[in-house]
């Protein structure tokens, strides 16, 4: 049993191509998917689209490990750098200073909760890109930011619990590690395990934590409920750390064992966590050799999955 993200060929919008992707995943022996389409932006799934996805899953005998939710409107890009400050006019943003846009962002997340419930997932994965520059400049801004975030999660808590869907907040690129530690500490202190958990992205860990790519997994393994497993080679040019767009360009989403991550150590940490197998790989086929890519992905994914199982049995 292994899960693969649905955007391994990058996101393809047509329904014909989406069904084709699901068919290929099934034929490659994967048992589960991670629904990753529309992980960014403002798309709202209708009940009819949800029914269509469920019909495809039944047709190709696939189950769903998780749904990737969206934090809303895409952040503006300015002089080659992402603007991580939540702006007043950013549409459907659950962290927004604009109360109408914040409420619209909550509505967008509820839509993904509904999708997860309809297609059989137990959690949604959510980005929370911190406006850390503005936080460093203003305590007042930081206080206001967290006021809006807590309002949104407070409103989502009953909605999620009543549907038995958890939110897994993901470690990200572009945010210094100490800010992310503060973020997770605040969230996990305020909300219980039945509502908020941790999604560990191993590729992001490699790029943001040179000394210890597994630092956040090690620190928050007790809240681990979702994973985006992929390998990477790190950032070769340290000057790229000064430019968020260039950092993102190093996010290669390679198959496990095709980069620098210590997969045995990762397996040992996951083995003592509450994470429910199978593992989920969020990887990208970049050379167009889809069938070969899927075979390597499945074989290497099974190695990681079986290692975790063996450690748990011991």
Segment 10-69, tens digit of pLDDT: 877 789 999 999 999 999 999 999 999 999 889 999 999 999 999 999 999 999 999 999
**Judging by DSSP bridges, how do beta strands 77-78 and 81-82 pair with one another?**
antiparallel
What pLDDT band is residue 166 in, cutting at 50, 70 and 90? very high
pLDDT: which is higher, 250 or 173? 173
DSSP string, 184-237: HHHHHHHS-TTTEEEEEEHHHHHHH-SS-TTHHHHHHGGGEEEEEB-B----S-
pLDDT: which is higher, 14 or 160? 160
What is the structure's pLDDT at 244?
61
Per-residue pLDDT at 80 exceeds 60: no
User: Per-residue b/e over 138-173, b at no fewer than 16 CB within 10 Å?
Assistant: eeebbeebbebbebbbebbbeebeeeebbbbbbbbb
Summarised one tens digit per residue, pLDDT across range 187-238 is: 999 999 999 999 999 999 988 876 789 999 999 999 999 999 999 987 656 5
How far is Cα 274 from Cα 213, in angstroms, rounded to an integer?
A: 20
What is the structure's pLDDT at 238?
59
Per-residue pLDDT at 251 exceeds 90: no
What is the structure's pLDDT at 91?
82
Token output for 254: 């390679």
> Which pTM does this prediction carry?
0.93
What is the structure's pLDDT at 288?
86
């Amino acid at each position: 049993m292994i899960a693969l993200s649905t955007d391994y060929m990058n996101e393809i919008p047509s329904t014909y191509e989406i069904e084709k992707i699901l068919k290929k995943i099934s034929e490659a022996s994967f048992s589960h998917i991670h629904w990753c389409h529309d992980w960014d932006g403002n798309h709202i799934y209708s009940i009819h689209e949800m029914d269509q996805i469920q019909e495809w899953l039944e047709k190709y005998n696939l189950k769903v490990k998780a749904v990737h939710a969206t934090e809303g409107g895409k952040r503006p890009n300015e002089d080659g750098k992402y603007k991580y400050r939540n702006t007043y006019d950013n549409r459907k943003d659950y962290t927004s200073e604009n109360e109408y846009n914040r409420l619209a962002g909550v509505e967008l997340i509820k839509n993904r909760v509904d999708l997860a419930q309809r297609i059989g997932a137990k959690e949604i994965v959510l980005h929370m890109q911190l406006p850390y520059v503005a936080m460093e400049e203003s305590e007042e801004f930081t206080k206001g930011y967290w006021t809006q975030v807590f309002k949104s999660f407070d409103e989502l808590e009953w909605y999620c619990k009543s549907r038995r869907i958890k939110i897994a907040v993901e470690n990200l690129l572009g945010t210094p590690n100490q800010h992310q530690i503060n973020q997770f500490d605040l969230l996990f202190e305020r909300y219980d395990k039945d509502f908020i958990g941790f999604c560990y992205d191993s590729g992001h860990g490699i790029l943001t934590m040179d000394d210890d790519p597994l630092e956040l997994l090690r620190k928050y393994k007790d809240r681990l409920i979702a994973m985006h497993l992929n390998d990477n080679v790190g950032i070769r040019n340290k000057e790229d750390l000064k430019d968020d767009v260039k950092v993102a360009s190093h996010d290669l989403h390679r198959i496990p064992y095709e980069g620098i991550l210590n997969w045995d150590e990762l397996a040992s940490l996951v083995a003592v966590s509450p994470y429910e197998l199978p593992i989920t790989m969020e990887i990208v086929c970049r050379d167009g050799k889809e069938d070969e890519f899927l075979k390597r992905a499945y074989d290497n994914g099974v190695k990681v999955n079986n290692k975790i199982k063996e450690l748990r049995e011991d």
